[in-house]
Each structure stands twice: as structure tokens, then as C-alpha cells.
């Protein structure tokens, strides 16, 4: 079918040479970045937090990796949720000092329908919209982003970028040409729907709760906008 379409458009004056198209893919031009997302780091970070909260995302800001397990345990306790976690098999999550929170029952791997809480890293956070970016892979199975009722994301403040275009550029830089992840998921808040009587119902097609554990890894100079 694609061959027939190509042959039918062979003489189309709008058809561009393959070399030109390959160059456009290899050297993409960035779109305009909204001014509200293009400020110094403190403004960008504050915008990300504000947009997340508008989307019903809860956030726990911590000073270091070591504080993450205890913060997650406190979050679950505050909602009276079980302490059983399914982790992404990524060092960003599995290397956290889970032994400091002995009441948590921790396993890693892809999510199963019985898993109530998943813990994953994020690839990036988008300040403009409060969106989280997740990439799929052996260490980051996408089922953990969608199957459990509760999704806890462990990320770093330095991962917050201005806009979607920055996230795409970072993905191209990290993975390189021809080796992009199979999926790149953009998640803006917990799952919800208003299909029935225009009433918002959380957890319709995915997690009903989305919680970020934000590790502050930005130095003081950046926080001051230098």
C-alpha cells in the first residue's frame, strides 16, 4: 500500500528529495518556547510544581536520595495504603536505600494486575504543562505507569525542562539516531474521565493517584537564576 501511495505521488511538485527529508530528521528545528516556560531555573521549577498541582498531582520535595524510601513510606501511611511496592528495575529506583524503610515490601519488574503501587523514574518533567515524560525499556516497563492504582515517581529537580521540545531534544541526545525508545509516554496528572454525567472520576483508565518524590539536586547558583 505504501509503495502504491509513493508511486502515485512520484510527480507531485510538493514531494521533497529523500536527502532533504533525512536532513530535517537529523537536524530538527525547535519550535518557539513560550515565554512563561523560558525563565530562569527557579521560575521554571515553580511553574512545574504549580501546573502539577493543578492536575491533582501531589509532590513531596526531599533533599537527597537517602530520604526517598522514608518519604514514600510516609505517603502510603498517610493514605492508609499497603506498603507493598513494585519498582521499575532501574538503578534510579532500585539503588535507593530501601532498607531504611523496613516496613515496605519491595519487589521489581513489570506491573501485574495485583500490584497496587508502582514506583518509577521519570525521563523529564515539562514546566509548561506539568507533564511527566516516561520512556519504555528493559529497566522502565511502561506497565508500571498505567496498571497500579497508585503511581509514585522518583525524579530530580534538574530533570525539569521548559517545554515538550526540550524533552524530545533530550531523548534524541540520550538515545541517539535510530535507537529511540519504543514508546515515549506523556502523562499529565492521574487518570480521569468525565464521560458519565460530566462528573470527574479518577482512575478511569490508569492510576487514580500520581505522586512525585522530587529530589533536590540543583545547586544554589542555579536556584538564584545565575
What predicted TM-score, i.e. pTM, was given to this entire model? 0.86
Q: Which three cell numbers stand for residue 49?
A: 510544581
**Which of these, 32, 13, 4, 121, lies nearest to 68 by C-alpha position?**
121
Domains, the chain, with CATH or none: 34-223 (3.40.50.10420)
**pLDDT given at position 187:** 96
Going from the C-alpha of 58 to that of each of 54, 72, 131, 142, 202, the distances in angstroms are: 10, 12, 13, 21, 14
Query: What does the pLDDT read at residue 80?
Result: 97
Nearest to 87 by CA among 76, 75, 78, 96: 96
Per-residue pLDDT, 117: 98
List the chain pLDDT tens, one digit each, 226 residues.
878 877 777 777 777 777 877 777 777 777 777 777 888 999 999 999 999 999 999 999 999 999 999 999 999 999 999 999 999 999 999 999 999 999 999 999 999 999 999 999 999 999 999 999 999 999 999 999 999 999 999 999 999 999 999 999 999 889 887 778 899 999 999 987 777 777 777 777 789 999 999 999 987 656 665 4
Q: How many other CB atoms are there within 10 angstroms of residue 115's CB atom?
A: 19
Measuring CA to CA, which residue among 159, 161, 148 is closest to residue 214? 159
Give the pLDDT score at 19: 82
Beta-bridge mates of residue 42: none
The enclosing H or E element of 151 equals: strand 150-156
Residue 191 in contact with residue 207, Cβ under 8 Å? yes
Decide: 119 and 177 in contact? Cβ < 8 Å. no
Contacts with 181 (C-beta within 8 Å, 6 or more apart), sequence order: 135, 136, 137, 171, 175
C-alpha 111/C-alpha 113 separation (Å) is 7
Q: Tell me, what's the pLDDT at 89?
A: 97
Check the CA dihedral 131-92-140-58 and report its sign.
Answer: negative
Amino acid at each position: 500500500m505504501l509503495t502504491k501511495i509513493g508511486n502515485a505521488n512520484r510527480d507531485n511538485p510538493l514531494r521533497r528529495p529523500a536527502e532533504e527529508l533525512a536532513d530535517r530528521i537529523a537536524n530538527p528545528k525547535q519550535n518557539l518556547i513560550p515565554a512563561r516556560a523560558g525563565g530562569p531555573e527557579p521560575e521554571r521549577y515553580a511553574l512545574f510544581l504549580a501546573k502539577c498541582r493543578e492536575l491533582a498531582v501531589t509532590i513531596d520535595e526531599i533533599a537527597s536520595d537517602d530520604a526517598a524510601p522514608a518519604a514514600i513510606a510516609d505517603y502510603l501511611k498517610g493514605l492508609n495504603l499497603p506498603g507493598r511496592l513494585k519498582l521499575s528495575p532501574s538503578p534510579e529506583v532500585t539503588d535507593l536505600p530501601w532498607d531504611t524503610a523496613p516496613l515496605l515490601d519491595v519487589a521489581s519488574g513489570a506491573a501485574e494486575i495485583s500490584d497496587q503501587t508502582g514506583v518509577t523514574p521519570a525521563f523529564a518533567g515539562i514546566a509548561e504543562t506539568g507533564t511527566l515524560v516516561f520512556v519504555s525499556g528493559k529497566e522502565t516497563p511502561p506497565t508500571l505507569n498505567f496498571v497500579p492504582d497508585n503511581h509514585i515517581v522518583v525524579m530530580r529537580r534538574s530533570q525539569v525542562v521548559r517545554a515538550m521540545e526540550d524533552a524530545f531534544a533530550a531523548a534524541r541526545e540520550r538515545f541517539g539516531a535510530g535507537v529511540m525508545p519504543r514508546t515515549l509516554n506523556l502523562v499529565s496528572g492521574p487518570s480521569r474521565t468525565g464521560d458519565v454525567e460530566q462528573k470527574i472520576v479518577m482512575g478511569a483508565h490508569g492510576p487514580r493517584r500520581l505522586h512525585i518524590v522530587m529530589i533536590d539536586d540543583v545547586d544554589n547558583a542555579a536556584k538564584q537564576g545565575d
